[in-house]
Amino acid sequence: MRVAYHEQMSDLATQLADMCRLAEESMERATEALLQADLSLAEQVITKNEQIEQLSVSCEEKAFALLALQAPVAGDLRQVISGIQIVADLDRMGALALHVAKITRRRHPNHALPEEVNGYFAEMGRVAVALGAAAREVLLTRDPERAARLQEEDDAMDDLHKHLFTVLMDRDWSHGVAAAVDVTLLGRFYERFADHAVQVARRVIFLATGRMPGQLPEHELLQED
């Protein structure tokens, strides 16, 4: 029974990493489609989202089957519950890349972005893809130290998002309300993609250590009292 359990957990971990890879690739393509107003690439992202959704269903089914049939406790239970939560984060990452692609498709053949913000979104796309790759790495390695560094790497996305609003709020903005709404939504999509990648890393830390980041070990809590 234990051999079967570990095989099933290994299979679940592999599928989670596959989901993360697909979300990462989708955001990379969605960003290129956005910057180039490339309808073909946008359609690829939209179609590929079906694979992410299928993996999401498969991972959830495996996790719930493990709960129902194996009755895991302690560390094993933590792995299964973390897996279910990670599925939700990865599914959302895929959906956010999908939203980017849909805005590109909706505005085609025009560009969704004014030229002056292209640089922001090129960099936000780069950071988002890098965070997705890092999340996939920690899913495979379960390295809590590498996972903890994702929070610092996410600071770059937060800075870009804040600077983007300075452009939108500038009274010299001349691109109208529709463009401002698109830029606002797109900026939010990239920020949330990064946040979910960081959340995946936080769940890996919990999986590996039994504590969420920022939670002190019990002996340190006792010392503070």
Q: What percent of the chain has pLDDT over 90?
A: 69
- Category of 176 on φ-ψ map: left (φ > 0), alpha (ψ -120 to 50) or beta: left
User: With bands split at pLDDT 50, 70 and 90, how would you rate the model's confidence at 8?
Assistant: confident
Does residue 191 have a pLDDT over 80?
Answer: yes
Q: Which CATH number fits domain 2-215: 1.20.1250.20, 1.20.58.220, 3.40.50.410, 1.10.3720.10?
A: 1.20.58.220
pLDDT in the model for residue 81 = 85
Compute φ and ψ for 108, nearest 5 degrees.
-60, 140
Q: Both ends of the chain: CA-CA distance in Å?
A: 44
How many CB atoms sit inside 10 A of residue 52's CB? 23
* pTM of the predicted model as reported, rounded to 2 decimal places: 0.89
Does residue 140 have a pLDDT over 60?
Answer: yes
**Domain locations along the chain:** 2-215
User: What does the pLDDT average to over 71-93?
Assistant: 85
User: Could you report the per-residue pLDDT of 144-175, keeping only the tens digit for each?
Assistant: 999 999 988 999 999 999 999 899 888 888 99
**In the structure encoding, which two tokens stand for residue 74, read together?**
């302690």
As a whole number, the mean pLDDT across the chain is 88
